Amino acid sequence: MTLMLASVTGPEEAEVAVLQGADIVDLKDVGVGFGTVATEVVRATVAAVARRRPVSAVVGETTAPERIGGIAADLTQAGANYVKVGLSLSASCLPITGPTIRS
C-alpha cells in the first residue's frame, strides 16, 4: 500500500493537503531547516485536520539529546500522532534517553 505524506507548515496548508488527498499531514518548521515545530502550531493544525488524517510533527535536529524525550512528549500532548527526530551522526548524541511515548 502506498500512502501520501504531505509536509506542511501549519493549519492552512494542512487543510489544502487534506482536501488534495494526503494520507498523513506532516508538520515541519522549514524556516529553521529540520527544526522543531512549535506546540501551538501542532495544536492549531490538529484542530484544523479534526481527526480526518493523522498528524506528524518533527522534534528537529538537536545537539542536546537529553531534550529529545521532553520535546517529543510536548508534541504528542499537543496532539501529534507521530513524532520524527532528526539525529546527528555525532557520537555525542548517543545514547538518546527519554520517556517512551504512546499516543
- Residue 26 CA to residue 54 CA, distance in Å, equals 9
Catalytic status, residue 55: no
Largest CA distance in the chain: 42
Distance CA 83, CA 24 (A): 12
Selecting among 84, 86, 87, 98, the annotated active-site residue is 84
Does residue 8 have an active-site annotation? no
One of 10, 14, 28, 60 is an active-site residue; which one?
A: 28
d(CA 95, CA 18): 37
Catalytic site positions: 28, 84
